[in-house]
Amino acid sequence: MTDMDMAEHEAWFENYAQEQRALETGDAGPIDLKLRHTLEVLATARAITAESGPEPELERACHLAALYHDVARFEQYRRYRTFRDRESCNHGLMGVKILKRERRLEGEGPALRRRVLTAVGLHNRFQLPPALPGDAALVTHVVRDADKLDILRVMHENLSGPKPWHPTVVLGLPDDEALVSDTVLRAAREGRVASYSDLTSVNDLRVLLGSWLFDMHFPASRRQFAAAGHARRLIEGLPENAAYGAIRTELLARLAAVDTAPAPAATH
C-alpha cells in the first residue's frame, strides 16, 4: 500500500470540514483554524516518518491518525462552543466514535484500524498507558509530536500579537507576573513535561510549552521544535525576574543545544 490512496481520506476530511463549517451559524473562525491545524499536523507527521522510516503499513497508520486526530473538533465546537475538553467532551474519544460512525476505516486492515483508533483516542492524554504495544505507541507519538509542534505555532502567533490575548488561546489564564506555579517550574527544571492542570498564568503556559521539548520522540520533531523558532520566542517572552529568570535561561540553553542540521538523506 502506498501513500497515494491517502488522497481519498484527505478529500473526505476536507469535505467533512466544509460541511461542518456550513452548519455553523456563528463564528466559523475556529473551524477554519482546526482545518489548517490538521493539514499542518499531517505535513509534520509526513516529515517525521520520511526520516524515521517505519514500514509502509505503519507509515500509513501514522498519516491517517494525523489526518483524523482532531476530527471531533468541529462537532465539539458546534455543540459546546469551546475546545476545552473539561468543559465539554473528550475530543480524542469523540473522534474515535465519529470515525466509526462515518466508517472511515472500514476499508483498512484490522491492525491498521486498531492503531489509528488508538492514536486518535490517546492523542490528547497527558500520559500514555505504559502497556501500549510498540506499533500503536509509535503511531501515537508521531501524532502527539506533530500536534505539539503546531500548537507551538498557534501559541506563538497569538502571543506575539497585541494584548489582551483571546481567552480561548491562553486557556482563560491571567497574564499576571505575580502568579507562578512551582509545580510547573519544577517539572521544566527536571526535564519533564509540565501539566496543563498546574497552570496559574500565561507565564506558566510559556514554560509548559517550552517543556514539550522533553517529550519529542523523533530526531525530526526535536529538530523542528528548535528550528521553527516558536518555542524560543515563547520562552523569550518570560520575564527575567526572580521567579522566571533561571528557567528562562535554562530552557533557552536546552533549545540552543539541539542540533538543527538536517539529517543525512535516507539510503532507501
Question: Between residues 150 and 203, which has the closer beta carbon with respect to Fe ion?
Answer: 150
Question: Between residues 113 and 123, which has the closer beta carbon with respect to Fe ion?
Answer: 123
CB of 170 to Fe ion, least distance (A): 17
CB of 218 to Fe ion, least distance (A): 19
DSSP code for 266: P
CB of 72 to Fe ion, least distance (A): 8
CB of 65 to Fe ion, least distance (A): 11
Q: Which residue is nearest to Fe ion (CB)?
A: 70
Angle at which helix 91-101 crosses helix 73-80, to 10 degrees, equals: 110
CB of 257 to Fe ion, least distance (A): 29
Contacts of 27 (CB under 8 A, 6+ apart): none
Question: Between residues 70 and 204, which has the closer beta carbon with respect to Fe ion?
Answer: 70
Question: Between residues 147 and 204, which has the closer beta carbon with respect to Fe ion?
Answer: 147
Backbone dihedral region for residue 212 (phi beyond 0: left; psi -120 to 50: alpha; all else: beta): alpha
Rounded CA separation 206/160 (Å): 12
Residue with C-alpha cell 472500514?
A: 106
Residue with C-alpha cell 481519498?
A: 8
Question: Between residues 10 and 250, which has the closer beta carbon with respect to Fe ion?
Answer: 10
Question: Between residues 148 and 223, which has the closer beta carbon with respect to Fe ion?
Answer: 148
Residue 167 CA: distances (Å) to CA of 91, 141, 177: 20, 29, 17
The footprint of Fe ion (CB under 5 A) covers 70, 124
Nearest to 208 by CA among 178, 240, 238: 238
3-class secondary structure, 200:
coil
CB of 45 to Fe ion, least distance (A): 13
Please give the grid coordinates belonging to residue 156.
506563538
